Amino acid sequence: MINVGIVGVTGFAGEELLDILLRHPEVRISYLSAKIDKPTPISQIFPRLKGKIDLVCKKPEIKEIVNQCDLVFLALPHTVSMEFVPALLRAKKRVIDLSADYRLKDTKVYAQFYKVNHKDKLHLNEAVYGLPEIYRHRIKQARLIANPGCYPTVIILSLAPLVALEVIDPASIIIDAKSGVSGAGRRLAESFLFTEINEDFKAYKVGVHQHTPEIEQELSRLGGKKIKVTFVPHLLPLTRGILATIYARKDKKLKNKSQNLINLYRRFYKKEPFIRIRQEDISPRLRDVVGTNFCDISIKDNPDTVIVIATIDNLLKGASGQAVQNFNIMYGFREDTALV
C-alpha cells in the first residue's frame, strides 16, 4: 500500500482526488489538508463521505506530511505549491503538483503570466510534465510531476499528431475553447456567481490566458521549433467539461498527398487507454466525457485545412484523473486503476 496525502483537499480538484483515491486498491489515504482554521473531520466538510473516511483535515505541516506520506498530491493554488515542494523532495517524498508552479520551464514567462517570481528554480528542470500520452517513459521515474493544466491537456492531445508528424503549418493554429465554471476553482468571486454565469456565454482573457505559454511550450517541444498559437477561451454556463475546436492550415506538402488523418490519429494513440478517436461525422460531446478520464477527439479533413474537436472533463483528464493516471504509472500499477 502507498501512503498518500492530499494537500488542498477541500478544493474542486482535491475533492475529486479524494473520491478517486478512496476506490484505489493500492492506496491508503494517510493525510488530508487545506487552509482551514481548525482541524475538522473530512466527513464533516463533505457529509457524503460519512462512514467512508474519518481522517481529520488540517492546516499543512511539512513534518506531519513527511511522517505520514510516501507521495503527496498538491491541489493548491499556484505560488502556494512551490512553498511545499522543496522540503518534500528533500525528505525523499514523491510529489504530483496540480498547480502551474512547475509546468513552465522559463521562469521569466512564469513571472509574466502568474505575476510572481519563481521561488524554486532548483527543481524546475527536474519536474516532468505529466501528460502520459507524451511523457510516459519519464513519468515512471519522476520524483516531481507537473500535472498539466486543463486547457493545455485537451489542446496538446488534439494537436500532438499533427505537430509531431509535421502535417500542418504550425503558424496557422487557432484554438477556440470553452470551459465549465469549475475550471476556476471553488473560491468566491463575483464573476462566478450563478446569476452572472447562468444563461450567458462569453470569451475571457483573450490572448492573455495563462495557459497559452504552457500550450506553446509543449507544442514547440513536440514540433522541434518555436510554435505560437491564437487561443481564445470561453466560459460555459456549466459546472464541468471543456470542448476545444482547433483550426489549422495543412502543410503544402501534405495537400497533394492522400493521407487519412483519422488513421494517423488512430495510429498515434493506438495504445492509449484514455484517448478515443471519433468517426469523422461524429463530433465529441461533453456528455460522453464528463465524469470520466477520457479525451474524445474528432478530425475533419478538408482540402486545405484540418479542424480538430475534442472534449475532456476539466476536473478528471484535465486535473485529478490525469494526476492519478500519473500516480499509477509512477508505481507500476495498471494505468486505469481507480479511473474506470
Ligand X SMILES: NC(=O)c1ccc[n+]([C@@H]2O[C@H](COP(=O)([O-])OP(=O)(O)OC[C@H]3O[C@@H](n4cnc5c(N)ncnc54)[C@H](OP(=O)(O)O)[C@@H]3O)[C@@H](O)[C@H]2O)c1
For binding to ligand X (CB under 6 A), which residues are involved?
8-14, 34-36, 60, 75-78, 80, 98-100, 149-150, 182-183, 185-187, 314-315, 318-319
295 part of the active site: no
Catalytic residue among 57, 69, 150, 295: 150
Of the candidates 52, 5, 2, which has an alpha carbon nearest to the alpha carbon of residue 27?
A: 2
Q: Nearest approach, Cβ of 198 to ligand X (angstroms)?
A: 19
Distance CA 14, CA 32 (A): 9
Nearer residue to ligand X within complex by CB, 323 or 338: 323
Of the candidates 209, 251, 204, 254, which has an alpha carbon nearest to the alpha carbon of residue 229?
A: 209
Q: Nearest approach, Cβ of 256 to ligand X (angstroms)?
A: 41
Nearer residue to ligand X within complex by CB, 120 or 261: 120
Based on its alpha-carbon atoms, the radius of gyration of the chain, rounded to whole angstroms, reads: 20
Start-to-end Cα distance in the chain: 20
Q: Are 12 and 185 contacting, i.e. CB atoms less than 8 angstroms apart? A: yes
Nearer residue to ligand X within complex by CB, 59 or 138: 59
Nearer residue to ligand X within complex by CB, 187 or 257: 187
Of the candidates 314, 339, 273, which has an alpha carbon nearest to the alpha carbon of residue 21?
A: 339
Buried b (16+ CB within 10 A) or exposed e, 87-106: ebbeeebbbbbbbbbbbbee
- Name the closest residue to ligand X (Cβ): 11
Dihedral Cα 205, 17, 84, 122, nearest 10 deg: -70
Q: Nearest approach, Cβ of 100 to ligand X (angstroms)?
A: 6
Taking each helix axis from N to C end, the angle separating 212-223 and 150-164, rounded to the nearest 10 degrees, works out to: 20
Q: Nearest approach, Cβ of 80 to ligand X (angstroms)?
A: 5
Nearer residue to ligand X within complex by CB, 74 or 261: 74
Q: Nearest approach, Cβ of 158 to ligand X (angstroms)?
A: 17
Catalytic residues: 150
